[in-house]
Amino acid sequence: MLEDLIPVNILIGDRTYRLKIEPTDEELVRNVIKMVNDKIIEFKTHFAGKDMQDYIAMVLIWLATEQRKEGTDLIKNKQASDKLTSLENMIDKVLSQAE
């Protein structure tokens, strides 16, 4: 519910933003903001001479790419897990028939 949200001030790059978030999300939001700001600093050291908007855009592209990789990895892990479960079931079936 909207009235359950808490206000937080976050700093991204060189700008402050006021958000209203779920209290349970506060730690996650702060960790993500720290990661974003750390990436901005990393990109600033590797790509000198750009403006803050360019660095933020680079971080957004990096984040989107990482999210996609994680999603792909989850799918691969699920497929591997399904195959292992199938193999376990086959082994259990063979063992139960041998008894």
Q: Per-residue pLDDT tens for 33-68?
A: 999 999 999 999 998 877 999 999 999 998 888 877
Helix axes 52-98, 26-46, angle to 10 degrees: 120
52 Cβ contact list (under 8 Å, min separation 6):
13, 14, 15, 40
Whole-number mean pLDDT of the chain? 84
Q: Count the domains in the chain.
A: 1
> Are residues 35 and 27 in contact, defined by beta-carbon separation less than 8 angstroms?
no
Selected residue with higher pLDDT from 4 and 50: 4
- At 73 the pLDDT is 65
Provide the domain limits for residue 84: 2-98
Q: How many CA atoms lie within 13 A of 42 on its CB side?
A: 9
Q: Per-residue pLDDT tens for 6-40?
A: 999 999 999 999 999 999 999 999 999 999 999 99
CATH number at residue 76: 3.30.160.880
> Are residues 29 and 8 in contact, defined by beta-carbon separation less than 8 angstroms?
yes
